[in-house]
Each structure stands twice: as structure tokens, then as C-alpha cells.
Amino acid sequence: MKILALVGSNRKKGNTTRIVQLIETRMQSLAQQHDTPLEFETIFLGDLDIHPCRGCRLCFDRGENACPLKDDIVSLRAKMDAVDGLILASPVYVDDVSGLVKTWMDRLAFVCHRPAFSGKCAYPIATVGGSSPNHTLRTMNAALLTWGFHLVGQAGFKMGALASPDEMERYEPEATKVAEALFRAVSQRHASRPALVSLIAFKIQQLAWQREPPDSYDYAYWDGRGWLANERTFYTGHRAHPIKVALARLLGAVIFRFVV
């Protein structure tokens, strides 16, 4: 099992890092108990050279290889492609994700058009001083869902300016829940049973890309994978219940017609 944790804080001994460490410790002991090899890698986004998106749209129009910014996003994307699960951990900055996380998200915006992470699990985590983490979690959820990830859950940790090491015990139960849920979801391949919201997101995208000019890059991507065929219900083969699939197709069509 390969898990990648992305930390969106420059404080390497800060709240967000400490929560990720709690989750890693718990996942390592679960892996031992279940005799499952676990590779857990933590990457600090602040250590990478990831420039802000220039808005040129070349990634949308001609593919991500046309992006003029040749920096660490390329190797990070390759790492994301190789893992089974992603923990996205951001401190709350002014009620939203940190700039490090937002810059990383913007550079992968083309994945909203060409979802590439189906079959992988994701768990967004927000640490916050005293207010609500919900808006930040919504920002992360929206990106991860549109990119095709299976969302296992979400967790917010209220920690003040900087929790002291002795206070960390308080956060162990919630961190354990995250570790257990992610470990279970990856081991039991929960991503092959997509949630209703994921099936709806697929349907909405399918209807949108069916209307794109056939010579566009996104159309070719969807068409090449067989995703534009009306009978296709998700990016990958799946084990979702047929009633859930039928409901998702209906709701997706209604939302596309009246809301999008």
C-alpha cells in the first residue's frame, strides 16, 4: 500500500505536520497488524519549486505537457499517479487552504477536465486555530472529487496557534479514525464502489464533454477512454449498486440541464 501525504504548511514542526505524523504512526501499526507492506511518504509542498499558474490555458487546450512551467509539479504528479491513497493536509489560512495548497491545486486544474485519479482514495485534513475548518475542507473536497478521487472522509482539527507536543494526545482519537478509515478503504478497494456524488460528477462531466468540439484535447481524452459512451457510468469498472447508478445518471442529467 502506498500513501502520499502532502503538507501545505511551511512549519515542519507545526500542527499540520504533527497530525500527519499521528496518522502515519497509526497506519504503520495497522500495516504491521495486517501484515501489509506500507510505504508512507510525506512531502512538504513548501520544499518544492511549484510556480503559480500563469493562466495561459495551454494545459487545457493542448495537454499538460504543453505547460511552460517546467518545475517540480511534474515529478509530484508522477508520485501522485503511483500511490493508492493521498492525504491532503492544509492549515486554514483566512478561512481557506494555504497558498501552497492553492498553488498546487491551480497547477493541476486541468485534471478537473481530465480526471486521472479514479481508483485512488483521498482524505483531506485541515488544521485550524479556532474557527471552523469546513470551508477549507470544502475547497479540498471539490478539487479531489472532480479529479476522480474516492473521498474516504474529511477531518478538521482545532489546535490554536501551535499545539504543544504534550497536547497532541488530545488529537489521537480523531487521527486514529482517519488512519483506520483510509487503511480500510485502500485495503478493501472502496474506490471500486464509488459514492453517489462521484457517479453524479461523472455523469455531469460526461454530458459536458459530449458537447465539446470533437477536435478538442479534452474531447479526445474522454473519447479515447470510452467515457463518452452513454452506457458508460464511471471512469473505471465499478461495483456500485445498479439503483445508485441509475439515480446518479438521473440526478446528473437534471443538474446538468438546470444548474450547470
Ligand X SMILES: Cc1cc2nc3c(=O)[nH]c(=O)nc-3n(C[C@H](O)[C@H](O)[C@H](O)COP(=O)(O)O)c2cc1C
Q: Give the span between the Cα atoms of 6 and 127, in whole angstroms.
A: 13
Position among 20, 83, 91, 117 found at the interface with ligand X (CB under 6 A): 91
Task: For ligand X, give the closer residue by CB, 82 or 162.
Answer: 162
Binder of ligand X out of 9, 118, 139, 154 (CB under 6 A): 9
Q: Rule CB under 6 A: is residue 101 a binding residue for ligand X?
A: no
Q: Which stretch binds ligand X (CB under 6 A): 37-45, 52-60, 92-100, 106-114?
A: 92-100
Cβ neighbours of residue 189 closer than 8 Å, sequence gap 6 or more: none
Instruction: Specify the 3-state DSSP secondary structure of 192.
Output: helix
90 or 146, CB closer to ligand X?
90
Structure letter (DSSP) for residue 190: G
* Residues in CB range of 75: below 8 A, 6 or more apart: none
Q: Based on the shown chain and the rule CB under 6 A, indicate whether residue 205 belongs to the binding site for ligand X.
A: no
Place of cell 483510509: 182
Q: Which range of residues in 89-97, 194-202, 210-218, 238-246 is near ligand X by CB under 6 A?
A: 89-97
CA–CA separation, 260 vs 26, rounded Å?
41
What is the DSSP secondary structure assignment for residue 206, as one 8-state letter? H
The interface mask with ligand X, positions 123-152, x = CB under 6 A, is ----xxxxx---------------------
For residue 161, state whether it binds ligand X (rule: CB under 6 A): yes
Dihedral sign computed on CA atoms, order 199, 205, 211, 217: negative
Q: How far is the CB of 90 from ligand X (least distance, A)?
A: 8
Cell of 190: 472502496
Among 6, 50, 67, 92, contact with ligand X (rule: CB under 6 A): 92
**Contact positions toward ligand X, by CB under 6 A?**
9, 11, 14-17, 91-95, 127-131, 159, 161-162
